[in-house]
Amino acid sequence: TTQPTPMASTESGTPQSWHTTVIQVDGIKTETYDRISNRRTCPAIVVVPGNPGMIGFYFEFIDCLFKKLNGNFSIYGVGHAGHGVPGGNGDKIFTLEEQIRHKERFVEERIAPNHDKIILVSHSVGSYICLKLIKRRKDLGFVQLVALFPTFRHLKMGIQGPVKFAILPYLRQTASAAVHYIPQFLINWAFKMNRDGSVESVQKVLNTNRDYYVVMNCLSMAHEESETILEMDEEIAGSIEENIDIIFFLYGPTDKYAPRSFYDHLKEKFPAANAFLAEENILHAFCVKQSKEVAHQIYEWFHRHHIPLPNEESK
């Protein structure tokens, strides 16, 4: 398989066009999006999404973070197995455990051979995946985990409205087929009526991934999350305890998936945890239109806590 290629960039650090690279990870066709540093040696940041896990949702976030950090880090975004690449993985439905293994193989094969320091930036259920990963693979060079609006306990509490029914085993097929076959003019109309400031890339990702098996993977994963992620399990608790000094948690005061009460619970169980509350207006799905604000929060953490930066001579 070929290595991902860096994006062509303008002087401002913003790509001339957003597109993903499809690679093979453990035999699975996977969408990636990378911003590669010009430095010869530098730490790597790996962005692991929530659900839906199409990495295209994080284009603007990855770009903002790359620019905020002055190109000192190479940033690699990796989509979930089966999320994206319509038709690329047949009718395979991936389990949550297979998603963890998928990220492990991505880091092991693609990142660790070229970077001795690796920072994970995870969103939502991506934080569950990454907490498991740093517990199981201490040998891969992880030096930091940034868990954005993490869902590693009682995930079902945040699932709202129609989604709660769409993820049920006997309704998933119907919901997936409905999304797959909905006429394009209705999609265009819905986007035209949407005036919430969503970035164009988000609309494009939604429009290009109306594939039956992509939707089925998203819904099946959501259902498994809701049935599996209940009380904080022993592996997650052990991971936090062992890595307490290298994890930053960001919770949302109004976030139904990672609310203030979950922040309070974490601080009670782990008083030394580096846990923070976002501004009240920051949404769980921050990547839709608040990428700049969250990228700035990470930038502030990195500088305040002296996250390892490349030396000047490594340019």
Axis crossing angle, helix 125-136 with helix 96-106, rounded to the nearest 10: 60
8 A C-beta contact, residue 229 and residue 100: no
Tokens of 218: 């998203």
User: Hey, which bits of the chain come out as E strands?
Assistant: 21-25, 28-35, 44-48, 74-78, 118-123, 142-148, 247-251, 274-277
Angstrom distance (rounded) from CA 78 to CA 87: 18
Angstrom distance (rounded) from CA 96 to CA 90: 18
8 A C-beta contact, residue 78 and residue 32: yes
- Residue 249: count of CB within 10 angstroms of its CB: 24
Which of 37, 124, 226, 239 is the catalytic position?
A: 124
Which of 115, 123, 223, 284 is the catalytic position?
A: 284
8 A C-beta contact, residue 76 and residue 46: yes
Instruction: Look up 265 and say whether it is catalytic.
Output: no
Instruction: Look up 255 and say whether it is catalytic.
Output: yes
Angstrom distance (rounded) from CA 37 to CA 75: 8
Instruction: Look up 74 and say whether it is catalytic.
Output: no
Among candidate residues 77, 47, 70, 65, the one with its CA nearest the CA of residue 144: 47
8 A C-beta contact, residue 251 and residue 244: no
Angstrom distance (rounded) from CA 151 to CA 167: 17
8 A C-beta contact, residue 145 and residue 117: no
The Cβ-side half-sphere exposure at 30, using a 13 Å CA radius, reads 29
Reduce the DSSP state of residue 214 to 3 states and report it: helix
8 A C-beta contact, residue 37 and residue 112: no
Which of 80, 123, 255, 291 is the catalytic position?
A: 255
Residues serving a catalytic function are 124, 255, 284
